[in-house]
Amino acid sequence: MAFEEIYKTYWSKVFRICMGYVNDHDWAKDIAQETFVTIWQQLPKFRNESAIGTWIFRIASNNCLRQIERQNRMPRSEMPEQIAEIITHDIEPAVQFLYKCISELSETDRLIISLELEDVKQAEIAKIVGLNESNTRVKIYRIKERLAKKFESYEH
């Protein structure tokens, strides 16, 4: 698969995963770009040992985890309310709420649920994260349960 094709197919998926992790458009765009730079650099070495999607999501999720080293970024929740509002005003409230809920989960849960919502197979998620399949299944179930509870209180 050529880089151009990968870029076209996976940009939105990688961007959403990064959004699920940081819930900040600019930051997510930066991580997504870094991911594609890594993909561009590593693509000649890609040996088809895993599916291309799994390989891309591994790089993307590892890049997300690496954000811990960039502590000078101001977390979205700490932004002045006015600025936060300007940036998000045209996004559907329920969509905003979902991403907010996800960004409040623990780091690895954010990645797991983002991959799940991105329609990545659970066996692949297990490979990306490094857990076994049954643990991954349980984790996904519990995260969804938590999200569902949050949405119940959001709707009422």
Partner 1 sequence: MSTEMDFKALWNKQPIDAKPDIEQVVMKAEKLKRIFRLKLILLNIVLLATIVITIYANNIIANEWLVSKIGAALMLIAYISYLVAYNQLIPILFKTNPEISNLEYLNQLITINRKSAFLDTVMTNIYFALLSTGLALFLIQPFTHMKIVNGITLYAVTALCMAFALFYLKPIGMKKRKRHFDDLITKLEAINGQLREEL
Q: Which is nearer to partner 1, 66 or 83 (CB)?
A: 66
DSSP letter for 104, please.
T
* Contacting partner 1 within 132-151 (CB under 8 A): 135, 138-139, 144, 147-148, 151
130 binds partner 1 (CB under 8 A): yes
Residue 78 Cβ vs partner 1, minimum distance, rounded to whole Å: 17
All residues at 6 or more sequence positions from 87 whose CB lies less than 8 Å from its CB, including other chains: 25
Q: Which amino acid is at 3?
A: F
* Contacting partner 1 within 61-100 (CB under 8 A): 61-63, 65-66, 68-69, 90-92, 94-95, 98-99
Binding partner 1 (rule: CB under 8 A), the pick from 21, 53, 76, 111 is 111
Q: 102 near 23, Cβ under 8 Å?
A: yes
Dihedral angle over CA of 81, 85, 91, 95, nearest 10: 10
Rg of the chain's alpha carbons, rounded to an integer?
16
Residue 80 Cβ vs partner 1, minimum distance, rounded to whole Å: 22
Three-class DSSP category at 63: helix
The separation between CA 116 and the C-alpha centre of its own chain, rounded to angstroms, equals 10
Per-residue contact flags (x/-) with partner 1 for residues 21 to 60, judged by CB under 8 A: ----x--xx--xx--xxx-xxx------------x--xx-
d(CA 84, CA 120): 31
Q: Give me the phi and psi of 41, to 5 degrees please.
A: -70, -35
Applying CB under 8 A, which residues contact partner 1?
A: 3-4, 7-8, 11-12, 15-16, 19-20, 25, 28-29, 32-33, 36-38, 40-42, 55, 58-59, 61-63, 65-66, 68-69, 90-92, 94-95, 98-99, 106-109, 111, 117-119, 127-131, 135, 138-139, 144, 147-148, 151-152, 155
